[in-house]
Each structure stands twice: as C-alpha cells, then as structure tokens.
Amino acid sequence: MQADTLVGALVLGLVEGLTEFIPVSSTGHILLLGHFIGFESTGKTFEVLIQLGAILAILTVYFQRLLSIALALPHQASARRFVAGILLAFLPAAIIGVMAHGFIKAVLFESPALICTTLILGGIVLLVVDKMTLRVRHTNAMDYPLWLCLAIGCFQTLAMVPGVSRSGATIAGALLLGTDKRSAAEFSFFLAMPTMAGAFAYDLYKNRDILSLDDATVIGVGFIAAFVTAVFVVRRLLDFVSRHGFAPFAWWRIAVGLAGFAGLYLVG
C-alpha cells in the first residue's frame, strides 16, 4: 500500500467528518476531491463506509439523550412516537437506496460534472429557503407528527444524487414544511443514524467479496478521521445555525461547485 493512499484516506476522512452534518454534501465533496487527487477505492466503498465514523460521532455526543429515549420507550408514548417517526422518515431512502444502488454507485458516483451542478443548484435552493419568511409550526424535533417525519424522509431521497446533500435536503424540506432551523438540523442528526447505518451495512454486504485487508486499512484511517471531525461539528452546528442560518453553507456550496467546474476544465 502506498503512503499517498493513506494520506488521501486521511484527508478525505477529515472532509467527510467536517461536511456530513452540514448541508453541503459530504459525498459530493469527497467524490470531487477524490477525483482531483486521484484517489480510487474498491467499488467506491470507502466513500460510503467511512460514514460509520460520523454515525459514532452522533452516538457519542447524544449518548445520554439516546439512552433516555431508549429507557422511556416502554412507558412513554412520546418516545415511541419519536422513534416511529425516525424509522418512518428512514423508509423512503431505504427502499430507493436498495433499488437504485447499482445505478448510484456506477453512474452517479462517477459524474464529477453532475456533482458540481448539484452543489451549485443546491446552494441556490438553500439561499432561497433561508431567506423565505415561513410560518413556523414545529420547534421540537421530538414532537414532529408522523406525517411530517415521512415527508422529510421523502425529501431525503433527493440526496441519492451526490452533491444534493442528505442534511441539506432534509433541513430544507423540514423548513418548507413549517419547522424552525434548529429543530430541523437536530432531526437531521437523528435521521442520519439509521440512514447511514443502513447504507454502511448494505454497501459492505454488496462488496464483501472484493474488499481486501489493504482496503480495510484505508477505510479505517478514513473512519477515525471522520469520527474526530464529526464530533467537533455535531457539538457546534446547532448553535451556529441558530445564529447564522444556512446562507454560509449555501455560498460555500456554490464556490466549491464553481471551483470544481474550473478544475474539470483545466485538468479534466
């Protein structure tokens, strides 16, 4: 295994952790960056499997809250409704992810120009939504009604296209459906857990026969880097969003998309 492969895995893992929970598309970032630094992973598994680091970051930061929800399940209807809402929101992505897995990995993951386009368009949408005056009817992610959870889950399916952003799609959808910014971001955190865990398990199952020990080492480096940076982001994102909204992320998306197009034009 070459040292530059491990360095590339480290860099991409850091980017994954920094971008997974903000609405800029972590997958779009690491696929685009990987394209320009010449990073190739077996079956494009690295880009999916290192998300486990981000999942563990949420579990670490939200451990006490998750534990309290688990303990409340037998005797508290609100806890059961919240868990049901998260599972309901996860369902659309699970169905489409299984049905379109091959197309997503073989076609969409291999389209840098598409990623640049969706980064820019998603940034514009996020700017528009952030500036809209919307009626807020839901301010507590724990109390979202089931219909709202399912609708947010439908928005999440848009993120099957790399560059759209899972968190961006769910947050923008939640805002349009009447939530406030902080609870929308928090619900996106919780929804990330079954979504990314499901993607991890299914991708590992589909590629179990082609992965080697070297692949496991590269994935491990990316996983650790993603975990460390994701913990930092999860602990600070909600306060940042409450103060600044989503416009900074929208402008970042547009800048990265334009830079990506410039890079494709100059070096291919």
Collapsed DSSP state (helix, strand, coil) of residue 179: strand
In the predicted structure, residue 61 carries a pLDDT above the cut 90: no
Q: What is the mean pLDDT of the chain?
A: 91
Name the token pair of 261: 């197009």
Name the token pair of 141: 């992610």
In the predicted structure, residue 241 carries a pLDDT above the cut 70: yes
In the predicted structure, residue 79 carries a pLDDT above the cut 80: yes
For residue range 168-218, list pLDDT tens digits in order: 999 999 999 999 999 999 999 899 999 989 988 998 888 888 888 888 899
For residue range 81-118, list pLDDT tens digits in order: 999 999 999 999 999 999 998 899 888 888 999 999 99
Collapsed DSSP state (helix, strand, coil) of residue 76: coil
Sign of CA dihedral 19, 253, 172, 87: negative
Residues in the chain: 268
Q: Where are the domains of the chain?
A: 3-267
Confidence category of residue 1, pLDDT binned at 50, 70, 90: low
pLDDT at 224: 94
* % of the chain residues with pLDDT over 70: 99
Closest to 177 (Cα-Cα) out of 211, 141, 212, 203: 141
144 in the Ramachandran plot: left (φ > 0), alpha (ψ -120 to 50) or beta? beta
Alpha carbon distance 123, 121 (integer Å): 5
Cβ atoms 81, 146 nearer than 8 A: yes
pLDDT at 254: 97
State the amino acid at position 138 in one-letter form.
Answer: H
